[in-house]
Amino acid sequence: MGKGFFHVPKAVNEPVKTYAPGSPEREEVLLTYKDLYNSNMEVPLYIGSKEIKTGDTKDIRPPHDHKHQVGTYHIAEKKHIEEAIDEAIKARKKWAKLEWEQRAAIFLKAADLIAGPYRARINAATMIGQSKNIFQAEIDSACELCDFLRFNVEYMAEMYDEQPNSSDGNWNRIEYRPLEGFVYAITPFNFTAISGNLPSSAALMGNVALWKPSASQMLSAQVIMEVFKEAGLPDGVINMVMGDPEMITNTVLDSPDFAGVHFTGSTNVFKGIWGKIGNNINKYKTYPRIVGETGGKDFIVAHPTSNPKQVATAISRGAFEYQGQKCSAASRVYLPESLWPEIQDLLKEDLESFKMGSPEDMSNFINAVIHEGAFDKLAGYIDQAKKDKDAEVVIGGNYDKSEGYFIEPTVIVAKDAHYTTMETELFGPVVTIHVYDDKNYTEEKWRDLLETVDNTSIYGLTGGVFSGDRYMTAIATDMLQNAAGNFYINDKPTGAVVGQQPFGGARGSGTNDKAGSKMNLLRWTSVRLIKETFVPATDYRYPFLGE
């Protein structure tokens, strides 16, 4: 602690810029886009003070223009991962002792760099590398990342302020120590903000980290490291390593100093990592913290009393923004037969008005899906739905990978509420709708439907109910208690904002440690209680032992 109880600046959500035609931010981001597109960026490994170019490289290509190469990134061998662990542990000596306000200042500065001089660069990198339109890039890589950095500082200060009571003659204090070892952060392709947050939230609490970004997020990962460096993050505190995820993970999990994993990605990968940690448990100096936010099969369920236009808009935005590649994206929808014709017309109108193409053309609402693997998987499910008796493709259904990985926003109607695309996470611009019979509708039938919603998938991430009847809303809120960690009433299930809707789900969707909250930061600390007695006892005898 320094010489004062410092108050941190009040965190407020970073305002979202409009990028309207003629705005200065639009002009700047388009110029930066062109620059980056032709820059042939080379992304090194960041290990300790070194930027290592191993010479073994992979190409970086925009998903919407996969014939064009925008850069390369370097691949680590096992020895580099071992070196990164050594460097992290070396850096820990000074970092874990540094006063909290010094750590806070680094990450507050990083937020201001992103909000200001790096805003266009991090947005353009996200647009090119992850195929996001400017609005999706802005709310993610600029605003949400700033929010994570600033709110985490505020939460850390609040947490440090939480102290135990003391009784006469002694003073109890709690110290929020960093974990004894290093934290391994593994991040997904779909949110630049998550990539920045997973290593930095642990580092803010005094930990050192190895960060393994997704191979499909390398451009914006590089910008994040540039920002951390410029903000003054000491060498070795966050080490960025890329390469074979299995090799990197096995090497990391073999280290006795492994103290925790901060993961976001798919469910099966997380379960595999959990299993390996379990098998290695006797190797570690400390019980590792295991934090993972994973897949989802997020729902919208509409009661017959809901408003068709509101439901249609929630599907258009909730299922298709960023091509449905949000863990929170609506992908299974339950609609009453009486409202379906109107909702279908509205949905068709919306989807037919979506333009699809490169994010550089700002009139495009939809861009490409992340890579060929995702494209082929989605095309396969669409083809199967076209063949299956139980399903019908009612909107969209076309795809083309000749230039970029473009999948037309697609709506499948499934007769069977357990049809495969009602249950499996597809992670793309495909939504499946089950239309239920609402003739002579009763509370009992609503309860049966909610039971189906609750039991249909292994996940429990997000979901929304639309209803104009408060009793029916209340029943859904109660019956779907465990179906979603983020539950929405009369709203789409996407778009959680740091400081407002802490995010995470349970069941197969993760450990629900709520990214962007104090609950998450607590996982990166190990509390030490210090009791100090001012005038210690000098006689063991208690009064009850008296004559």
Q: Does 509 bind ligand NAD (CB under 6 A)?
A: yes
Least separation in angstroms between CB 461 and ligand NAD: 6
Sign of the Cα pseudo-torsion (402, 130, 322, 138, in order): negative
Q: Structure tokens of 271?
A: 């379960």
Give the binding range for ligand NAD (CB under 6 A) out of 181-189, 313-321, 384-392, 396-404.
Answer: 181-189
Least Cα distance to 263 among 251, 281, 245, 236 occurs for 245
Residue 144 engages ligand NAD in binding (rule: CB under 6 A): no
264 strand-pairing partners: 293
Contact flag: residue 264 with ligand NAD (CB under 6 A): yes
- Candidates 161-169, 267-275, 392-400, 464-472; binding stretch for ligand NAD (CB under 6 A): 267-275
Distance of alpha carbon 98 from its chain centroid, rounded? 28
Q: Which is nearer to ligand NAD, 63 or 234 (CB)?
A: 63
- Least distance (Å) between residue 238 CB and ligand NAD: 15
Encode burial over 164-180: b for 16+ CB neighbours within 10 A, e otherwise. Answer: eeeeeeeeeeeebebbe
CA 464/CA 314 separation, integer angstroms: 9
In the range 154-173, which residues lie near ligand NAD by CB under 6 A? Answer: none
N-to-C CA span, the chain: 49
With contacts defined by CB under 6 A, how many residues of the chain interact with ligand NAD?
A: 30
- Interaction between residue 190 and ligand NAD (CB under 6 A): yes
Closer to ligand NAD at the Cβ: 99 or 246?
Answer: 246
> Known catalytic residues?
293, 327
Q: Which of 126, 131, 141, 249 binds ligand NAD (CB under 6 A)?
A: 249
Rounded Cα distance between 308 and 302, Å, is 9
Can you count the helices (H) and strands (E) in the chain?
Answer: 17, 23
Q: How far apart are CA 127 and CA 131, in angstroms?
A: 5
71 interacts with ligand NAD by CB under 6 A:
no
Do 188 and 194 touch, CB atoms closer than 8 A?
A: yes
30 or 215, CB closer to ligand NAD?
215
The mark string for 287-326 relative to ligand NAD (x by CB under 6 A, - otherwise) is: ------xxxx------------------------------
The whole-angstrom separation of Cα 354 and Cα 217 is: 25
Residue 425 lies near ligand NAD (rule: CB under 6 A): yes
Out of 327, 382, 430, 483, the residue judged to bind ligand NAD by CB under 6 A = 327
Question: Interface with ligand NAD includes 212 (CB under 6 A)?
Answer: yes
Q: Which helix (H) or strand (E) holds 533?
A: strand 525-533
- Nearest distance in Å: CB 263, ligand NAD: 7
Between 314 and 484, name the residue whose CB sits nearer to ligand NAD: 484
- Identify which range of 9-17, 258-266, 376-384, 475-483 contacts ligand NAD by CB under 6 A: 258-266
Return the residues of window 192-211 that contact ligand NAD according to CB under 6 A: 194
Binding of ligand NAD at residue 266 (CB under 6 A)? yes
**DSSP states of 254-310:** T-TTEEEEEEES-HHHHHHHHHHHHHTGGG-SSPPEEEEE----EEEEE-TTS-HHH
What residue ranges bind ligand NAD (CB under 6 A)? 186-191, 194, 212, 214-215, 245-246, 249, 264-266, 269, 272-273, 293-296, 327, 425, 427, 461, 503, 509-510
